[in-house]
Amino acid sequence: METKQFKAESKRLLDMMINSIYTHREIFLRELISNASDAIDKIYYKALTDDTLTFDKENYYIKVEADKDKRHLKIIDTGIGMTKDELENNLGTIAKSGSLAFKTENELKDGFDIIGQFGVGFYSAFMVADVVTVISKALGSDEAYKWESKGAEGYTISPCEKDSVGTEIILKIKENTEDENYDEYLEEYRLKAIIKKYSDFIRYPIKMDVTKSRLKEGSDNEYEEYKEEETINSMVPIWRKNKNELKDEDYNNFYAEKRYGFDKPLKHIHISVDGAVRYNAILYIPEKTPFDYYTADYEKGLELYSSGVLIMNKCADLLPDYFSFVKGMVDSEDLSLNISRELLQHDRQLKLIAKNINKKIKSELQSMLKNERDKYEKFYQSFGRQLKFGVYNDFGAHKEELQDLLMFYSSKEKKLVTLEEYVSRMPEDQKYIYYATGETNERIEKLPQTELLSDKGYEILYFTDDIDEFAIKMLMSYKDKEFRSAASGDLGIEADEDQAEIESEQKENKELFDYMKTILDGKVKDVRVSKRLKSHPVCLTTDGAVSIEMEKVLNAMPNSQNIKADKILEINVHHDVFHSLKEAFAKDKEKLSLYTNLLFNQALLIEGLPIEDPVEFTNNICKVMV
Ligand code: ADP
Ligand code: MG
């Protein structure tokens, strides 16, 4: 019998498969099952238009059989089959699968992710088999043919016997090597697991004769094994089911089964779209932050299926970073099984799906915020930070999209509020959206800078997250209201005392303030009369773009540049301490220096900033006491 050569391109791929060092060999089964399913589909579609043909569901299935003694693994289908020519053309050539054409020789040698991510079809059988035999009888044909290949040398085709229409693929599984265990592909439990993992949602039953045991007849303690045919796959994927048929529990089970997370999802989103692009998706918003979520190890992405066949575990292109917490899957008939990662990225269908999903997630979050506030707050505790990063990242490109999902703790409500809520209840005379930063809400509550604002009855948003102020700087304003820090030099408030009085106080005490500035040499930019202090003697505020909180964050970064905020020491001229300052200035400069340093350090402490020399600070306190 003549041995025919593979076409050049096919030979190259075949070589890759045979010599593959790839670890996910198990996907060969996914490929062969998906081909079998395609072959049954072809009959199904033909029957739709061909009156002489009927499609009885019971007659169509895929069967997987393992024979350990012969080392045979068979994949049998009742699909459309192949004629002699088709065997020759379909299995002898593979150039049509576009993915390969776009890869360079080196990429192929190095990466091999082409197999893992997309599979390369029929030839993947050679990853686990020395010999591949295909016996097929095409629909409407009386003859059957056998195609056989041991790999690179080529293949043979010869007539053979086969009763029914369809295809039988026989793999002669390789012997184990030192590094590789091939026996597992003959083990019932492994085969079942692989089928479950990759092909659970194939529309047709995938059957196996499964070993069971039962009591021997007439015995009450002796067991015997027997085989029983079982359907391994669940066939109807949950995402193709009608939403009305499904309960929360079903979605929760799917979440657990898929190991999307170990918590219970807060919310599921079931999408079925049948428009310009057709797809089904089940998405989840987890309740708890995965332990690695805010680390570089976390990988975002959704599972991607093409007509029920898993083609990618984590398709990152489907989710924007700010929704990276979303888990779940997408199945589309419009994506090809053999599409490469590069092509996928540019795939128009995939882009449409991603856009669609993004919109859907956003609207679900919005409605959760509106209708299920408690749930939303739980969500926000876990992932709010990511949304704030989303506002900040990409130079604020997504800020408009995300601003209404943000929440901050409010001085008035003592709970999380949205910007919309804040702005809607702003008094007429209030110009800005005020915020104060600090480590905890309790600490911010006690900040002297907020005294005037609280006095005026203005609501203050508490920023306790590193990212908060950065995000808000990117946002700049909400509904035309600018954000303003409670610690900023200008609060935009007509203070209770009139401006003239403050200015005259400032003028009157100019020498004192200048002197204090020299005492604090370089530590503050200015010493000023405070408009905002009511009961506290001093506080720190800032001029310019960098706030004290930002200084803390920036300097905590690994390669910090020692960035300094322009600090202003504000003095409450109505406080008794101020009179002591004045007196010391007139009579005892050394005392003034002592007081000034003490007050400055106090202000630092209140701000949650470290004081330079704690020992000196405590000594100074003692000096005052003695
Ligand atoms: P793809 O499935 O992407 O077309 P494959 O390498 O998996 O690429 O398969 C090549 C071709 O071989 C298929 O397109 C199909 O025409 C044919 N084929 C493979 N397996 C079967 C089968 N079980 N029944 C009928 N045709 C098959
Ligand atoms: Mg295929």
| CB-based burial label for 289 (10 Å; 0-12, 13-18, 19+) | middle
Q: What local confidence, expressed as pLDDT, does residue 565 receive?
A: 87
Sheet holding 566-571, edge to edge: 526-529, 566-571, 538-543
Predicted local confidence at residue 99, as pLDDT: 43
DSSP 538-589: EEEEEESS--HHHHHHHHHSTT------EEEEEE-TTSHHHHHHHHHHHH-H
Rounded to an integer, the average pLDDT of 474-502 is: 83
d(Cα 127, Cα 184) in Å, to the nearest integer? 13
Say yes or no to pLDDT of 107 above 80: no
Fold type of domain 375-491? Rossmann fold (3.40.50)
Cβ partners under 8 Å of residue 165, min gap 6: 78, 79, 80, 81, 137, 138, 139, 141
pLDDT over 50 (residue 110): no
Give residue 53 CA to ligand 2 midpoint distance, Å.
25
Instruction: Give the residue, by CA position, lying nearest to ligand 1 atom 11.
Output: 90
What distance in angstroms lies between residue 120's CA and the mean position of ligand 2's atoms? 7
Cα–chain center distance at 76: 39
Residue among 27, 30, 34, 38 to mutate when testing ligand 1 (max atoms within 8 A of CB): 38
Say if CB 568 and CB 524 are below 8 A apart. yes
pLDDT of residue 574: 92
| Ligand 1 centroid to residue 338 C-alpha, Å | 11
- The better pLDDT of the pair 172, 123 is held by 172
Query: With the CA atoms of 603, 607, 608 and 609 taken in that order, what torsion angle do they form, in degrees rounded to the nearest 10?
Result: -60
156-195 tens-digit pLDDT: 999 999 999 999 999 999 999 998 899 999 999 999 999 9
In sequence order, what are the residues at sequence separation of 6 or more whose Cβ sits closer than 8 angstroms to the Cβ of residue 482? 431, 432, 433, 476
> Among residues 238, 203, 234, 259, which one has the least CA distance to residue 42?
203
Query: How many Å lie between the centroid of ligand 2 and the Cα of residue 227?
Result: 30
User: Ligand 1: which of 85, 90, 309 to mutate, most ligand atoms within 8 Å of CB?
Assistant: 90
The DSSP letter of residue 326 is -
Q: What is the mean pLDDT of the chain?
A: 88
Listed by start position, the domains of the chain span 11-231, 238-371, 375-491, 494-626
CATH 1.20.120.790 fits 494-626, yes or no: yes
Euclidean distance between CA atoms 380 and 387, whole angstroms: 9
Mean pLDDT is lowest, of 24-28, 112-116, 539-543, 548-552, for 112-116
pLDDT of residue 531: 84
Closest Cα partner for 80 from 164, 37, 38, 138?
138
Q: Whose CA is nearest to atom 12 of ligand 1?
A: 90
CB 509 within 8 A of CB 582: yes
Cα–Cα distance measured from residue 488 to residue 469, given in angstroms and rounded to the nearest whole number: 13
Q: How far is CA 464 from CA 218, 361, 385, 444, 483, in A?
A: 74, 26, 11, 9, 16
What per-residue confidence (pLDDT) applies to 12?
72
49: left (phi over 0), alpha (psi -120 to 50) or beta: alpha
Looking at CATH, the fold of the domain delimited by 11-231 is given as Heat Shock Protein 90 (3.30.565)
Identity at 421, one-letter amino acid code: E
- Ligand 1, atom 19, residue with closest C-alpha: 35
**Model pLDDT, residue 409:** 97
| pLDDT tens track for 390-443 | 999 988 999 999 999 999 999 999 999 999 999 999 999 899 999 999 989 999
Checking phi first, is residue 7 left (phi over 0); if not, alpha (psi -120 to 50) or beta? beta
Q: What is the CATH number of domain 238-371?
A: 3.30.230.80
**CA atoms in the 13 A half-sphere facing the CB of 88:** 9
Contact 410, 460 (CB under 8 A): yes
pLDDT 10s digits, 296-332: 889 999 999 888 777 788 999 999 999 999 999 999 9
pLDDT of residue 103 exceeding 70: no
pLDDT of residue 427: 93
Is residue 79 in contact with ligand 1, taking CB distance under 6 Å? Answer: yes
* Nearest protein Cα to ligand 1, atom 17: 90
Q: How far apart are CA 6 and CA 91, in angstroms?
A: 9
Main-chain phi, psi angles of 131, to 5 degrees = -130, 135
- What average pLDDT score do residues 101-121 get? 47
Residue 469's pLDDT is 92
pLDDT bucket at 98, cuts 50 / 70 / 90: very low
> In the predicted model, is pLDDT for residue 119 greater than 60?
no
Q: How confident is the model at residue 108 (pLDDT cuts 50, 70, 90)?
A: very low
pLDDT tens-place string over residues 132-145: 999 999 999 999 99
Q: How much distance in Å is there from the Cα of 335 to the middle of ligand 2? A: 13
Q: What is the pLDDT of residue 503?
A: 86
Whether pLDDT at 100 is above 80 = no
What's the sign of the alpha-carbon dihedral 487, 488, 489, 495? negative
Better pLDDT: 547 or 138: 138
DSSP code of residue 78: -
In the numeric block, which tokens belong to residue 231? 């359907």
Q: Where are the alpha helices (DSSP H) in 50-98?
A: 84-92
- Position in ligand 1 atom list of the atom nearest CA 169: 23
pLDDT tens for 38-83 read: 899 899 888 878 888 888 888 999 999 999 999 999 999 999 999 9
Which H or E element spans position 272?
Answer: strand 267-274
Name the token pair of 268.
Answer: 């599921």
Mean pLDDT of 575-591: 94
Q: How many residues does the chain have?
A: 626
pLDDT tier at 286 (50, 70, 90 boundaries)? very high
